[in-house]
Amino acid sequence: MTLIQDTLEIVRKRNPHEPEFLQAVTEVLESIEPAVQRNKKYREGSLLQRLVEPERMIVFRVPWQDDRGQVQVHRGFRIQMNSAIGPYKGGLRFHPTVCASVLKFLAFEQVFKNSLTTLPMGGGKGGSDFDPKGKSDGEVMRFCQSFMTEVFRHVGPDTDVPAGDIGVGGREIGYLFGQYKRLANEFTGVLTGKGLAWGGSLIRPEATGYGCVYFAEEMLKTRNETLEDKVCAVSGSGNAAQYTVEKLLHKGAKVVTMSDSNGFIHDKDGITEEKLAWIMDLKNVRRGRIKEYADKFGAVYAEGKRPWGVECDCAFPSATQNEIGAEDAKTLLGNGCTLVCEAANMPTDPAGIDLFLSKKILYGPGKAANAGGVATSGLEMVQNSMRLPWTRAEVDQRLHQIMVTIHQNAFETAKAYGHPGNLVVGANIAGFVKVADAMLDQGVV
């Protein structure tokens, strides 16, 4: 057995009921093998074992009162995975599927993603099995206040800086920040994704989607192609999806699908900027379902389905983990899809990834392609520290440069380790090397 397989065996034994965490760890460890083989220092000091064990996991009760006066109880988490290169940084997810396995996979991915951004941020993730859908603003506020009442003692601008993720947008960040401020009696950059009037950064809401499209452009450049006139399938209709679609439209692409957890819409004529503005109002203000788009604009609606059966040149999974399985991947390839760029985290399962890599299509793994979100959170932290906001153009230009650098780094690293074009290997090794070297520099911690 190799060191990688030995380490995976330990992870399996120690976390037997955590399939998502095992999936993420397996993908990373197997793809960094060339770097571990080449460098003795990575095989010593139980470095890999330390890497796969969170530095700290905080699990807590979140009691709150609903509008009927009933007390509801949820479970809260903050996983502080690795602080070798900076304070823990990563989003909060509020969704019924949240559990230790999902958050540990996300925290683990975050470590390498943050390393790729070129900014000094460690990796963390948190959240709760609370579902904000169908709750009143008052209920969401009381939940957020209760969540922060516990988590505030574990976070801080130089310790751990959470942000949004599924189910946590501007509204939730506002309630969480307000409660932190009351408890800590200080106004600091403890969260990112804040409102513009109270420490937020321009472009942060757009950053995950815009960054993902900038990354796709870089991938296409390696084949002398652009996004102009490309037919694109996008999943999701939340933050990541909305701004992926917006930037694709700026680049002259035609977007024909979006979805939510109930189904997807297929608009053969393409989603225009006006239609997208309607979707943003539907999702961010009225908090309705994507089906309403089909009724409004006469598009096709497929209940309970994902959009991967629609003919497209490029696919941008932007909803959730494991939303592209082997069958979906085969269908996409069969329909002529030549680029998959992940705005979501781990949306393609291992069999799907193997298919994309074996067919040598352009495949941008989430930890590289969606790193623009956390990178711009890092830029929000910089502005908070300076107490000086940057212009929209300045933040966008920095985001663009970071995405170009991440692509170049992953591309060059893949080549240097004998896997040209394989951005899974490239991103994982490039992210790993920086974190591993920092851990080694800091001794047995």
Residues designated catalytic: 125
CB of 260 to ligand NDP, least distance (A): 3
Q: Which of 261, 272, 331, 405 touches ligand NDP by CB under 6 A? A: 261
Cβ nearer to ligand NDP, comparing 4 with 319: 319
Residue 61 has which token pair? 């009760």
CB of 110 to ligand NDP, least distance (A): 9
**CA–CA dist 439, 434 (Å, integer):** 9
Cβ nearer to ligand NDP, comparing 238 with 365: 238
CB of 344 to ligand NDP, least distance (A): 3
CB of 116 to ligand NDP, least distance (A): 12
Q: Say which amino acid occupies 258.
A: M
Read out DSSP for 48-87? HHHHTS-SEEEEEEEEEE-TTS-EEEEEEEEEEEE-SSSS
The phi, psi pair for 273, rounded to 5°, reads -60, -35
* Stretch binding ligand NDP (CB under 6 A), from 44-52, 194-202, 317-325, 419-427: 317-325
Per CB under 6 A, 302 contacts ligand NDP: no
Rounded to the nearest 10 degrees, the angle between the axes of helix 204-221 and helix 371-386 is: 130
Per CB under 6 A, 345 contacts ligand NDP: yes
**CA–CA dist 425, 414 (Å, integer):** 6
Q: Which residues pair with 348 in a beta bridge?
A: 324
**CA–CA dist 173, 177 (Å, integer):** 6
Q: Distance from CA of residue 367 to its chain's centroid?
A: 7
Q: Which of 85, 344, 403, 427 touches ligand NDP by CB under 6 A? A: 344
Q: How many residues bind ligand NDP (CB under 6 A)?
A: 23
* Stretch binding ligand NDP (CB under 6 A), from 39-47, 260-268, 403-411, 420-428: 260-268
> What is residue 423's DSSP assignment?
H
Cβ nearer to ligand NDP, comparing 8 with 234: 234
The phi, psi pair for 437, rounded to 5°, reads -65, -40
Q: Write the interaction track for ligand NDP spanning residues 147-166; mark x where CB under 6 A is met and - where it is not.
A: -----------------xxx
Looking only at residues 352 through 371 of this chain, which bind ligand NDP when binding is defined by CB under 6 A?
370
Q: Which residue is nearest to ligand NDP (CB)?
A: 238
Looking only at residues 229 through 248 of this chain, which bind ligand NDP when binding is defined by CB under 6 A?
236-241
As a whole number of Å, the CA-based R_g of the chain is 21
CB of 345 to ligand NDP, least distance (A): 4
Per CB under 6 A, 117 contacts ligand NDP: no
Which among 87, 224, 66 has a CA at the least distance from the CA of 146?
66
Per CB under 6 A, 114 contacts ligand NDP: no
CB of 164 to ligand NDP, least distance (A): 5
Q: Cα dihedral angle (383, 384, 387, 390), rounded to 10 degrees? A: 30
Q: How many contiguous H segments (helices) and E segments (strands) does the chain have?
A: 17, 12
Place of tokens 């959009």: 307
Per CB under 6 A, 167 contacts ligand NDP: yes
CB of 211 to ligand NDP, least distance (A): 9
The phi, psi pair for 84, rounded to 5°, reads -65, -35
Q: Which of 189, 373, 378, 431 touches ligand NDP by CB under 6 A? A: 373
Interacting residue ranges for ligand NDP, rule: CB under 6 A: 164-167, 169, 208, 236-241, 260-262, 318-320, 343-345, 370, 373
